[in-house]
A and B are shown apart, each in its own frame.
Chain A
Amino acid sequence: GQQVMQIPQYQHVQEGEDFTTYCNSSTTLSNIQWYKQRPGGHPVFLIQLVKSGEVKKQKRLTFQFGEAKKNSSLHITATQTTDVGPYFCGGATNKLIFGTGTLLAVQP
């Protein structure tokens, strides 16, 4: 069945350092979505990528969708303490399967 893996599972950075999480699907995706979950909260949609090779930016966040539409990455430049939390990718085919998540900790 469809599987979506994320690495790393956990990342601890100093405030101001960059951070990247990678997402890999076992199947070709129609789109990939990224979510952030604030501590104690629920996942909130960040962005959706649809086209092969697509790159989108949101302020300090850069999202990429691989050429084969099976992998994606989220890069945060100059992390801030407000960036903490699990980040999930969601791979969509005929259903939305979430990756295992990357838990980001940012030390001031």
Chain B
Amino acid sequence: DTAVSQTPKYLVTQMGNDKSIKCEQNLGHDTMYWYKQDSKKFLKIMFSYNNKELIINETVPNRFSPKSPDKAHLNLHINSLELGDSAVYFCASILGQGNTEAFFGQGTRLTVV
């Protein structure tokens, strides 16, 4: 029973396309994050939602739009994909806003060709 699940695990798409990545957690946590991990393994925060409300938006292009229909789900929609968007995207959830451990999804490897 996966605590934080992301779909899809792999995504290959052409430049200019629009795609979505979905994330769901069954832990009852309040806060969910999207992180981007590039080829150098740097883990950069993108967005954070607390109880369906956006609380962090870290200088991410507005082609990226998160959506949280409820506190168990945080989806990421990307418009007009660019080559530089290729990375692994991780969803994570936390009880509270950072005082407890983060549980990560298995990641979505996005390749833009």
Could you list which residues of chain A lie within 8 angstroms of chain B, going by C-beta atoms? 1, 9, 30-31, 33, 35, 37, 41-45, 48, 86, 88, 90, 92-98, 100-101, 103
Contacts and interface: CB of A to CB of B under 8 A. Distances in A.
A86 B98 contact: no
B99 A42 contact: no
Contacts of B55: 95
27 contacts: A1-B58, A30-B98, A30-B99, A31-B99, A33-B101, A33-B102, A35-B102, A41-B106, A42-B104, A43-B90, A48-B100, A86-B41, A88-B43, A90-B102, A93-B98, A94-B97, A95-B45, A95-B55, A95-B97, A95-B98, A96-B33, A96-B92, A96-B94, A97-B45, A98-B45, A100-B42, A101-B42
Contacts of B105: 42
B56 A95 contact: yes
Contact of B102 (A45, A86, A103): A45
Interface of B: 33, 35, 40-45, 48, 55-56, 58, 90, 92, 94, 97-107
A59 to B, nearest CB: 19
Given A98-B35, A100-B42, 12 more contacts: A30-B98, A42-B90, A42-B104, A44-B104, A95-B48, A95-B97, A95-B98, A96-B33, A96-B45, A96-B97, A101-B41, A101-B42
B98 A48 contact: no
- Residue among A35, A42, A43 facing the most chain B CB atoms (10 A cut-off): A42
- Residue among B43, B44, B94, B99 facing the most chain A CB atoms (10 A cut-off): B43
